[in-house]
Amino acid sequence: MTVADAWNGPLGLHWADHPERYNAMLAEFDAPLFDVAAIGSAERVLDIGCGSGLTTRMATRRAPQGRVTGVDISAPLLERARPRRVC
């Protein structure tokens, strides 16, 4: 099984079914990440491995005049993220 197979199969489905659990697990990294990134209001941001999109949405709030794009290898996670995107 390849990494892509895992993230588009059981692993990706599990993460997509439990976003609150995994967002909480990774929450301690949010403040340090955004402190270092220092995203300005008109920045362009690429979130690689965006998962269910929480970090992408957080970046969007910091760059309301910019553009934020999230990408991920996992179709199940992207399906979870799409309805929650910030326009």
Model confidence band, residue 86 (pLDDT cutoffs 50, 70, 90): low
Which strand (E) or helix (H) includes residue 46?
strand 44-48
Interval 74-86 mean pLDDT = 89
pTM (two decimals): 0.89
Q: How far is CA 52 from CA 42, 57, 65, 66, in A?
A: 23, 10, 23, 21
Which strand (E) or helix (H) includes residue 80?
helix 75-81
Residue range 22-67, pLDDT digits in tens: 999 999 999 999 999 999 999 999 999 999 999 999 999 999 999 9
Q: What is the pLDDT of residue 50?
A: 96
Has residue 87 got a pLDDT over 60?
no
CATH for 54: 3.40.50.150
Q: What is the pLDDT of residue 30?
A: 97
Q: Please say whether the dihedral angle defined by the alpha carbons of residues 81, 55, 12 and 71, taken in this order, is positive or negative.
A: positive
Q: Greater confidence, 21 or 83?
A: 21
For residue 30, the enclosing domain spans 3-84
Counting the structural domains of the chain, the total is 1
